[in-house]
Amino acid sequence: MTTDARKLRLLMSLRRSGVTDAAVLGAIERIPRELFVPASFQDRAWEDTALPIGHGQTISQPLVVAMMTEALKLDDRRKVLEIGTGSGYQTAVLAQLSRRVYSIETIKPLQDDAVRLLEKLRIHNVTMRHGDGSRGWPAQAPFDRIIVTAASGGEAPKALVDQLGEGGIMICPVRRAADQQIMVRIRRENDEIKSEDLWPVRFVPLVTGSSGPVTDKRIEE
């Protein structure tokens, strides 16, 4: 089966699963997921499944990427904070739909690979940071949207909630029990925080602390 055929099959599967936002589906279609997975998994890149990317991390299932992105209600005016760059795939999708993405990754080799890929794809509205994602990016706050791609314990990190701007939306998986995670959507409305549970998920744990000094990388032309 050709890449185009696999891509079409995936997009049809996402639609059947309830993803209806044409802009989100368009971003999924445009970003070459095969570039974001190891060579040994490239023949599975357009399957609707999570895949390992090394360092104990995974690239999320396309359905989860699409649902999380859709739940953020993005447009090209939004300033987005992403916690957990990983392979950079979700970052690339977000960059298609927002004004600028600020992405934090605690594992330096993953961040380095993601920077190279985004530069290769000429995606320039992204700034990356190597550091502790649970602390957010106070110097760039407030953010219109925040997306967390690793599970925190019990509730979303307060530091991230505090960096959400008025009218902002945050999507974050939280661990409710040893074997239970739920995706939560948090909104700041009239300076009040409102939270709703969305759907069950399974993410790697949110890593706190970093393996080195905080460093930033702005992807430029």
Contact call for residues 143 and 81 (beta carbons, < 8 A): yes
Contact call for residues 174 and 189 (beta carbons, < 8 A): no
Contact call for residues 54 and 75 (beta carbons, < 8 A): no
| Catalytic residue chosen out of the listed positions 40, 60, 103, 195 | 60
In whole angstroms, what is the distance from residue 130 CA to residue 86 CA? 11
3-state SS assignment for residue 95: helix
Q: Beta partners for 171?
A: 147, 185
Q: Clarify whether 87 is annotated catalytic.
A: no
Residues annotated catalytic, as ranges: 60
